[in-house]
Structure 1
Amino acid sequence: MTNDTTYRQAIEELETILRALETDTVDVDDLTARVQRSADLIRLCKQKLRNAESAIEQVFENLEDEDEQESEGGADAPHAATAEAPTRPPGKGRNTGQLPF
């Protein structure tokens, strides 16, 4: 079995082996080889799932780290409530249907 086998290919081969076992078309001499191949394919699928899970967890950890860095960086920057508001002419943007900025 090579690392070039995709998860989908492994699953399809497992399904083919299962169908053959269910229909009793497998010769007894071939049975051991098919069971061994099935075990190898299952190991491959489990490894690919573990790798995918690890990669996804890493992506989420990176996103959380970025969020924390942005939050920490945002603590040094002035908040909108504490920043000086730009001056506007009286009545401009108030109850006129215009945005207040």
Structure 2
Amino acid sequence: MTNDTTYRQAIEELETILRALETDTVDVDDLTARVQRSAELIRLCKQKLRNAESAIERVFENLEEDDDDTPAADSEEEETPPGPPRRPDRPFPSGQLPF
């Protein structure tokens, strides 16, 4: 088993082995080798899934750290200077829309 085998390749090979086992096309002498190869592929898939899970957790942790460093939205609103006063007959100054 090589380290450059992708998760998809490993799954496809496992499916091929499973189909062969289900159709009884595997010779008894070849059965042990196929079962061993399946075990290797399963270990590889589990490791790739664990690595992906760890990487995703790190991304979310970094996002949470970024959120902690960002000032709260309330403080930003307080620092924003007020716009021109609005007249009751014109809800938005100079015909501008709020977006």
Change (3 A) 1:98 1:16: same
**Structure 1 unpaired stretches of 5+:** none
Between structures 1 and 2, the one with greater helix share: 2
Query: 2:90 matched to which residue of 1?
Result: 96
1:22-72 CA distance string (max 9 Å, x none): 11110111000000000000000000000000000000000000000103x
The alignment covers a number of residue pairs equal to 95
Distance 1:52 1:89, change over 3 A: closer
TM-score, normalising length: structure 2: 0.80
Give the Å deviation of 1:90: 7.0
The alignment status of 1:80 with 2:77, answered yes or no, reads: yes
Q: Distance in 2 between matches of 1:90 and 1:19?
A: 73
Displacement after TM superposition at 1:6 (Å): 0.4
Question: Equivalent residue for 1:67?
Answer: 67
Measured after TM superposition, the shift of residue 3 of structure 1 is 1.1
- Percent identity of the aligned residues? 68
Tell me, in whole angstroms, the C-alpha distance in 2 between the residues paired with 1:89 and 1:22: 77
Matches within 5 A, 1:27-46: 27-46=27-46
The answer on 1:47 being equivalent to 2:47 is yes
> How far apart, CA to CA, are the structure 1 residues paired with 2:85 and 2:26?
88
Q: TM-score, normalised by structure 1?
A: 0.79
**8 Å contact kept, 2:86–2:92:** no
CA RMSD of aligned residues (A): 2.6
